[in-house]
Amino acid sequence: MNDQQLLRYSRHILLDEIDIDGQEKILAAHALIIGAGGLGSPAALYLASAGVGTITLVDNDTVDLTNLQRQIMHTSERVGLAKVESGKTALSQINPDIKVITVAERADAERLEALIREADVVLDCSDNFATRHAINRACVKHRVPLVSGAAIQFDGQISVFDPSKGNSPCYACLFAPDQEFEEIQCSTMGVFAPLVGIIGSMQAAEALKLIAGIGISLAGQLLILDARTMEWTRIKAARDATCPVCNGH
């Protein structure tokens, strides 16, 4: 690290668990963020400010006025712009030393595999089950840790799925691919603005812990937040021996 980096990241370096070695791991890391909206915004902003060397943003949407109530990476001036380009502008303003790669498309399974293969950690900030399961399959295949978050109305959840740990469940162990789920969209049900900030920030924290090799991740645990009461529920998640995705990996 040069003198400017030592100064920029000094508050991380002061932490014994991170120190210079941990910060160098962060600088060398590649984080893939799928979804540049409510969850992806705080997650990306914190990863950029923390110095994650390469951040890839994947989203096929454009900034809309209705997004600005919660998607803090975007601004009124960038309404109509692709979210990944708006995000790149925001991240570059916070930390011009990092590399931001933009993928302005709804990535299919093949594209996700190619992107995930190159990443050190994946943050699922998407909003539909089909994408979540495609991300999970690719993460299991390429043994890349996945930090998954979700938020709707006043309810949020977060977990980590780490294929490098033999006893860690994958996303499909908790939410079976063939199970019927009702897709609930923010556009029809609404979402409490700070909720996505809480969950997205926690996704960034879990990703940084995985990158730096510190602390204990949420692998094998599902945290659920009721923002009406600010009560957390912690559920232990076991690996499903019959899971069609991770069984045998």
Looking at the annotation, which residues are catalytic? Answer: 186
- DSSP characters for 59-116? ---B--GGGGGT-TT--GGGTTSBHHHHHHHHHHHH-TTSEEEEE-S---HHHHHHHH
**From start to end of 130-229, where are the E strands?**
146-152, 155-161, 221-226
CA 77 to chain centre: 25
CA distances from 173 to 40, 56, 100, 130, 225 (A): 24, 27, 32, 15, 20
Half-sphere exposure of 89 (CA within 13 A, CB side): 12
CA 166 to chain centre: 22
Q: 212: part of which helix (H) or strand (E)?
A: helix 193-212
CB 197 within 8 A of CB 72: yes
